[in-house]
Each structure stands twice: as C-alpha cells, then as structure tokens.
Amino acid sequence: MKSHYVSDLQDGQAVSTLFLVCEKSIRTSAKGKSWLELSLRDRTGSIPAKMWDNFEAIAKTFECDDIVVIRGRVKLYNGQKEVTLEQIIPAEERDYELGDYLAHTKFDVEKLFSELRASISAMKNPFLKRLLESVVDDPAITPRFKRAPAAMTMHHAFIGGLLEHVVSLIGLSRGVLAQYPELDADLLLSGIVLHDVGKIDELSYDRGVQYTTQGRLLGHISIGAMLVREKIKSIPNFSPELAILVEHLILSHHGSLEFGSPALPQTREAVALHFLDDMDSKMAAVRSSLATDSGEDDWSAYSPALGRKFLKLDEYLKSSATPGRTTPERDPPKSA
C-alpha cells in the first residue's frame, strides 16, 4: 500500500500514501494564524508537511511514531520540498510493513545471518561454538540480533546495522587471521559475534532508534557481558578460564577506559578485535558521510562522529588533467 517514497517526491506532485510521523507541533504566526506542522519519514528519508486548515480535530487522532495515511501535494518552500496536507488518517497495523518506514541495511538480512551461521558452524572449539549458537539461535534474541542498529548515530545507525557490522568484521578477520597465525580463530570469532550483543537491549528500535533506560544506566558493554555470562552458565563444563576470556573480549573492545571499556585489551584476540571494530565502525562512518549530499563539490558533509569532512576522491581527481584513479570501483564483496 506504500505507493510513494520520500526520495522520489517531485515539486507539484499529488501524493496519497503512508508515512511515519516523527515530529508533530501546532505553530502560530505572528499575526495569529495557526497550522499543524509534521515531519514525515519512510526508509528513504524525511520531509516536512503542513496542514493549514481544519486540523484541530485531526491532530488529536495520532501521535509521534504512528503511521498515517496522508493526502496532499508537494511544493517548494525556501527551495526545499514540503507537503501541503489535505487529509491525515491513522493507519491500521495490518495496512503497512513497518520496515518501509525506517532506514535499514542495504544488504539482505537473511543472507547476512546465513553467513554468520556458516561461520559459527565451521568452529572447532565445541564450547565456544555452543555459546555462539545459544545466543544467535535463542528465539528471544534472533529477531533482535537481525534488527538492532549498531549504534545511535556513530555508525551502522540503521535497522540491521549490528548484523551488517558483525558480518563485515567476520570478512575482515579472515585476512587478519592469515597475517597473525598466533591468533585463536574461534576466540576471535566469539568476540566478533558477541562484542556488541548488548546493543539489542541498550537501544529500542521498533519505530525510532532511542536509548532504553537500561541502556543509559548500564551501557551495552555491561549488558552484553552479563547476557553472555548467563548463557555460559547454561553450558555444561564450560571452563571458567574460557568464560573470562570471552567476557574480557566484550569488556575491552572499546580499547581504553575513556571510551567506556572497563578493562584494556590484554589478549592478542582482544587487541585485534578492538582494532577491527574501530576500523569497521570508522569506515562505515566515512561511507555514510560521503553518501550524504553535502552541497560541496569535493568534500563530504561534516561527520560529527569523526569531527571532519572527507574528500570525494573521484570528483577531486576528475579536475586533474592527467588520470588519477585507474583501479575502477569494484563490485561489493559477496556477502557484505
């Protein structure tokens, strides 16, 4: 039933479809004219919308985070598109697919999950294998593991971001294991899969992405460590030493106290996990920054996460008389 998406709307177009209401307020002009002002979003972006007349009763029928059917017309205001609304009707839950209304990973979540499961299946250490299975196959966890973002704003801040991040780390870890044969592969994989598992409870991500109260008071690192300890308790003969090594990976993965890790990485696997996690989250933040329209020819939008702008390499080299980039942009890797 979702017929139009924000990213496709054109000036002058009549539109009649569903959106998620993000912000809602009644505004009044200096001369006393009132109107209803909304921010509407779907998974492709958000757009402001205004209803100028007879909105008082309608405004009471829905709240922020509700999905509504609207009818209206797109117009330009100060050079930016907005929707002039004629009608707003709350939608029934059977009428929409919530996934249409939030940004999510560009990858196929089920394929990502299969890749994760395949990596776990190939493990040799039966205890670690059983631990990872007990987490990712727990019916109370699986759907949230597939859905959780990897962060509020810093990186992978979209539905499925956690899983995309984990699978990307699995990919990176192959080269690292090849280069540092002294690393214990199963332990490193355990760290990769579990390091951010606390995100599933630190954040709420049903309609918008917010910190939960639990998330603010405990943080995903401690939530994850406690969750994993409970899972370990249920596995017979799981040695206490191995348990401590796994918990250490979770607790230390931010790499330093001031970034929220209560312990510094003190095993080879913890050191490697920290660097891989740091690299993948920062590369994702760069990717996201370069994907956002910045209005500048050669430079991305400013990334608050990284405190700088990034160069649009290809645009920059195009201005050069002699060719720069000769390695063509390649296809994405098979899974992520």
Q: Which stretch binds its own copies (CB under 8 A): 4-12, 65-73, 155-163, 312-320?
A: 312-320
Considering only residues 59 to 88 of the shown chain, the ones binding its own copies according to CB under 8 A are 76-79
DSSP letters, 153-207, are SSSS-SBTHHHHHHHHHHHHHHHHHHH-TTS-HHHHHHHHHHTTTTHHHHEE-SS
Position among 221, 231, 253, 288 found at the interface with its own copies (CB under 8 A): 221
276 part of the interface to its own copies, by CB under 8 A: yes
Nearer to its own copies, 97 or 315 (CB): 315
Q: Give yes or no for a contact between 117 and 110, defined as CB atoms under 8 angstroms apart.
A: no
Least separation, in Å, of the C-beta of 18 and its own copies? Answer: 26
Q: What is the spatial distance between Cα 197 and Cα 210, in angstroms, rounded to a whole number?
A: 16
Q: Compute how many other C-beta atoms are within 10 angstroms of the C-beta atom of residue 141.
A: 18
Position among 10, 11, 30, 60 found at the interface with its own copies (CB under 8 A): 30
Nearer to its own copies, 93 or 230 (CB): 230
12 part of the interface to its own copies, by CB under 8 A: no
Position among 42, 164, 186, 196 found at the interface with its own copies (CB under 8 A): 186
Q: What is the spatial distance between Cα 180 and Cα 70, in angstroms, rounded to a whole number?
A: 57
Least separation, in Å, of the C-beta of 313 and its own copies? Answer: 6
Considering only residues 84 to 123 of the shown chain, the ones binding its own copies according to CB under 8 A are none
Q: What is the spatial distance between Cα 148 and Cα 138, in angstroms, rounded to a whole number?
A: 15
DSSP summary character for residue 332: P
Position among 24, 66, 278, 294 found at the interface with its own copies (CB under 8 A): 278
302 part of the interface to its own copies, by CB under 8 A: no
Query: Tokens 């606390």 correspond to what residue?
Result: 198
Q: Which stretch binds its own copies (CB under 8 A): 61-69, 94-102, 138-146, 247-255?
A: 247-255
CA 276 from centroid of its chain's CA atoms: 18
Q: Which stretch binds its own copies (CB under 8 A): 25-33, 105-113, 134-142, 152-160?
A: 25-33
Element spanning 253, H or E: none
